[in-house]
A and B are shown apart, each in its own frame.
Chain A
Amino acid sequence: SQQGEEDPQALSIQEGENATMNCSYKTSINNLQWYRQNSGRGLVHLILIRSNEREKHSGRLRVTLDTSKKSSSLLITASRAADTASYFCATAPSNAGGTSYGKLTFGQGTILTVHP
């Protein structure tokens, strides 16, 4: 079963605009990551935020994390047509032991379309 939900399911914007995607999760986490997937291909890691961090930046990406609400948001500023893709949040559990090994739990994803 999936960890949580992403919102919105689909987002359509014009080049130059900002895109914000939200993610909620259910269990305690070690970190939360965002991945991008182009057209049914493999996922590409974008950014990681640890459970004790509240905000992280990387280039045009800004991620926030609110562990009290079990939610995160990804902001892409000045979007480009090349940003068109599906975006997934993924959580790594905080519990030690077998259930944490190698497992990321993904949200359902947000399909972002950026029009030139």
Chain B
Amino acid sequence: KAGVTQTPRYLIKTRGQQVTLSCSPISGHRSVSWYQQTPGQGLQFLFEYFSETQRNKGNFPGRFSGRQFSNSRSEMNVSTLELGDSALYLCASSLVAGRGAKNIQYFGAGTRLSVL
């Protein structure tokens, strides 16, 4: 079974631009979570989608948004990029994510975004 696939692997953008990152979960997984990883803040939860609905959201500004399609693939978008948005963005999929579930997450290799 194929793992979680994130594209692109690397991105270089300039301040003020916007960017879209893509994530294809493991087949059969319906929950997709996104995380931002930086040296200073570590791994921080962005949001989670399940059945095309955002069920949970972290403490990030509205410039960060996402969506999920009917095939469970997910995208996240960052508008008006700032230098501080430079980070490794990780997507994770889970078979079941809800009350009482184990919530074991399977991560993609990430997209490294550099904002110049």
Contact = CB atoms under 8 A, between A and B. Distances in A.
Interface of A: 1-2, 30-31, 33, 35, 40-45, 48, 88, 92, 96-109
B33 interface: yes
B72 interface: no
B108 A42 contact: yes
A99 B99 CA distance: 10
Interface residues of B, number: 35
B103 interface: yes
Given A30-B100, A42-B90, A102 B33 contact: yes
Contact of A102 (B4, B31, B108, B112): B31
Given A40-B88, A40-B112, A96-B99, A102 B107 contact: no
Nearest to B3: A42
B94 interface: yes
Contacts, number: 78
A11 to B, nearest CB: 17
Given A98-B55, A99-B56, A102-B56, A45 B43 contact: no
B42 A31 contact: no
Contacts of A98: 55-56
Contacts of B55: 98, 101-102
Contact of A92 (B41, B44, B50, B103): B103
Given A40-B112, A42-B90, A42-B108, A102 B42 contact: no
B109 A42 contact: yes
Nearest to A50: B102
A96 B101 CA distance: 11
Nearest first, the 4 closest Cβ-Cβ pairs linking A and B are A102-B48, A42-B107, A106-B43, A101-B55
A98 B109 CA distance: 27
